[in-house]
Structure 1
Amino acid sequence: MDKPLTATPTSPSPGTRSPFVLGVDVGGANLKSVLINQQTEKATAWESFFPMWKRPESLAEQLLSDWAALLAEARADADLIAGIAVTMTGELADCFTDRQHGVTHIADQVQSAAKQFNAAADLGFYSTAGEFIGKDQTSDQVDALAASNWHALASWAGRHVAANGILIDVGSTTTDLIPIQNGQVATGAKTDHQRLRDGSLVYVGCRRTPVCSLVDRLMIDGVDVPVMNEFFATIDDARLILKQQPESTEDNETEDHDTADGRPRDRQSAHRRLAKMVGWDANELSSVQADSVSQQIIESAQKQIDASLQRQIAQFGGNSQEEITLLLSGHGQDLVTQSTTARSAIDLRDRLTPEVSRSAPAFAVARLWLDTHREVRCNAV
């Protein structure tokens, strides 16, 4: 069981002149930032695609660009930001030799961006020990800082949404299944390795998961066909075919080439990528067949997530599914089976705007920073 959040402020506590708090989630493929106005409680989110493994040296530059866009969206000024709260998962990127290298690099880049953005703002990095630490401590607490965004989200959810339940957060790469008891994260597993072993981390997401990691065979016209063990297509292609998410094209100003072959995220390209998985050209895979194989891929992902969820439910204390509240988060919630969501469930998208819910860990870490500093002020009175 985790202890309550603690922090030692490194700058004056936020006052009326500094009403904003910036939450930042530094991932390996995406950067997410959320600005919260303490006075109005309004949250504004900004997300950008940033392949950490390709240009880690540009992280500070990209963060500054994102934060400038976020300020413009929120009509706020940088000098009114009291704190910058940071969580990360990007330390796993291939460009880093190990977690120490990744955490240190990310912390250095974030600090560089923060100094240029607002040098007076309090900068804190969230750790799975349930506390914020300063930049000078990051190299000594690598394991607690690495892959900490799941803990921040679950901690916020336990405090502000449901004191008991299981958080299911389905992102682009992974799914987190986090037990919450008495308002706190209720798992002793903190590192990725520990979480893989206990089933609270499932390497299945709604975007980047390779098809060949989900299925080894596909049924096509009654024939069981082996798939190629090549990175030809991802689950994203199956979801595009089934229209479970919109295409990214020049027409809707969200052109995106983060795909297996570097070509666009449209249904025509997705059809071609899926055909290659079974050794076909696009014209050899009919639309009906594409729909069928896509559904098989999605069902396999759902089964993997559901199997780990059942394991977490069994470890929760022997309660039946009907007695456990499920907190649903992330933009891949369609991978959580309907039989599960039909039970007691809270969709965090109902508590947050759709844009903010896509950046839920960034929102959560900002809110935890606020909680921490409010507690510090109360204790000082």
Structure 2
Amino acid sequence: MSNVVIGWDIGGAHVKAVMLDAQGRVLRVSQQACALWKGLDRLEDSLQKVLDLWSLEPNQSMHVVTMTGELVDLFENRAQGVRAIADTVKKYLPQAMFYMASQADKSAFVALVDGKESGIASMNWHASAQCLAEIYADLSMLIVDIGSTTCDITVCNAQQVLANGWTDAERMASQGLLYTGVVRTPLMALGPYIEWQQQARHIAAEYFATTADVYRVLQELPSKHDLADTADGQDRSLYASTRRLARMVGHDLEDGDTIHWRSLAQAFRDKQLNILVNAIQSCTKKSAMQPQTLTGLGAGSFLLPEIAHRLGMIYKPASASILADDPQLKNDAEVCFPAYAVARLWQAWH
């Protein structure tokens, strides 16, 4: 397996890995829950689990890494987080290389992170955008990655990433980075009001439910991507999800029937879509380019065909760019696209 490349995306809640063969075809994809804020031992467990699952010795293949986990409150600051994650990764993958990018320097892979922390921290969005920009070299496009926790919005043109900022703070200020996703986002973050039953309804400013409850009730969230703990620590069943959802508007589950609560879930879905559409419009208005194609990826990519339609754009799933014999592997790699991207970029550049 010496020609195999494995890309890793180390987040604060998940570790994702994608294995490519020498021709760039996806062989395997893995996503592991990893509550990194609870300790680096969680990351160690996730790394070891993937290595065991794939029966890999660390030196059997090349490993390339991007990350966002450095921002969890386990660390005093992002620089400390980058160094701690890199040190942990190196214990299990001694030859690992780390993706970095900045406004001043060309994107590249580096073996050592000291002094380069700012170019490594939270650059998985850039890896995805750079990969797609190189694949679709002649295409101007909007790339939207809706994940479990956040959404990244980036414009690319002529193999260039037209960034909305280079730090989380800059990208949040420009709405290129939104803290809204399809699994972990507390529903109170979509408030303080939603439109339901033909009126504005105030929602509880309590951690009663998350977006995962919405998309479970609407049967849009695949269970393999539904890995986070629930708000009340109970199970992920339709019954428990609906009960949590009802609580957000001051109701008990027994106050309505299935149709009633599905309409509430749809109201929360509509509110999140409106937030996403408004952010995308804000980003594209600021861009020198006005792309006509929206390329979608992430666990919440199921929302993007409708968003593209609302915006009058052509929709192209990122899975269309992924090489794999099995269609399911394509879909899984689309959800874990930053891990796929760093592996593919490594192959393209070396």
TM-score in terms of structure 2 length: 0.89
Q: Deviations over 1:263-286 (max 9, x none)?
A: 111211111111111222221243
Q: Which stretch of structure 1 is more off in the superposition, 158-167 or 100-109?
A: 158-167
User: In structure 1, what is the equivalent of residue 219 of structure 2?
Assistant: 243
Structure 1 counterpart SS, 2:96: strand
Residue 128 (structure 1) aligned to one of 76, 88, 101: 101
Identical pairs, percent = 29
Q: Which runs of 5+ in 1 are unaligned?
A: 1-16, 116-121, 249-253, 374-381
Structure 1 counterpart SS, 2:244: helix
Q: Which runs of 5+ in 2 are unaligned?
A: 323-329
Residue 157 (structure 1) aligned to one of 124, 132, 144: 132
User: In structure 2, what is the equivalent of residue 332 of structure 1?
Assistant: 300
**Contact 2:164 / 2:283 at 8 angstroms: preserved in 1?**
no
| Structure exhibiting the larger radius of gyration computed from Cα positions | 1
User: Superposed, which structure 2 residues align to 1:44-193 within 5 Å?
Assistant: 44-69=28-53, 71-72=54-55, 78-81=58-61, 83-115=62-94, 122-129=95-102, 130-135=107-112, 138-162=113-137, 163-187=139-163, 189-193=165-169
Structure 1 counterpart SS, 2:38: coil
User: In structure 2, what is the equivalent of residue 10 of structure 1?
Assistant: none
**Contact 1:301 / 1:335 at 8 angstroms: preserved in 2?**
no
Q: Deviations over 1:91-120 (max 9, x none)?
A: 1112112112211111110011113xxxxx
**Contact 2:97 / 2:111 at 8 angstroms: preserved in 1?**
yes
Partners in 2 of 1:292 and 1:286 — Cα distance? 10
Offset, 1:205: 0.8
User: In structure 1, what is the equivalent of residue 326 of structure 2?
Assistant: none
Partners in 1 of 2:219 and 2:209 — Cα distance? 16
Offset, 1:220: 5.1
Q: Would the alpha carbon gap of residues 59 and 337 (structure 1) be closer, same or farther in structure 2, given more than 3 Å must change?
A: same
Q: Which amino acid aligns with 2:18?
A: V
Structure 1 counterpart SS, 2:64: strand
**Contact 1:153 / 1:360 at 8 angstroms: preserved in 2?**
yes
Alignment pair present for 1:372 and 2:349: yes
User: In structure 2, what is the equivalent of residue 5 of structure 1?
Assistant: none
Structure 1 counterpart SS, 2:93: helix
TM-score in terms of structure 1 length: 0.82
Residue 204 (structure 2) aligned to one of 228, 241, 244: 228
**Contact 1:330 / 1:358 at 8 angstroms: preserved in 2?**
yes
Partners in 2 of 1:40 and 1:324 — Cα distance? 28
Structure 1 counterpart SS, 2:17: strand
Partners in 1 of 2:46 and 2:306 — Cα distance? 38
Partners in 2 of 1:225 and 1:98 — Cα distance? 38
Offset, 1:128: 2.0
CA RMSD, Structure 1 to Structure 2 (Å): 2.2
**Contact 1:24 / 1:33 at 8 angstroms: preserved in 2?**
yes
Partners in 1 of 2:285 and 2:11 — Cα distance? 30
**Contact 1:305 / 1:336 at 8 angstroms: preserved in 2?**
no
User: In structure 1, what is the equivalent of residue 175 of structure 2?
Assistant: 199
Structure 2 counterpart SS, 1:204: coil
Q: Would the alpha carbon gap of residues 102 and 318 (structure 1) be closer, same or farther in structure 2, given more than 3 Å must change?
A: closer
User: In structure 1, what is the equivalent of residue 234 of structure 2?
Assistant: 263
Offset, 1:64: 1.9
Residue 14 (structure 2) aligned to one of 30, 35, 43: 30
Alignment pair present for 1:351 and 2:331: no
Structure 1 counterpart SS, 2:41: helix
Q: Which stretch of structure 1 is more off in the superposition, 332-341 or 296-305?
A: 332-341
Q: Which amino acid aligns with 2:212?
A: D
Q: Which amino acid aligns with 1:128?
A: A
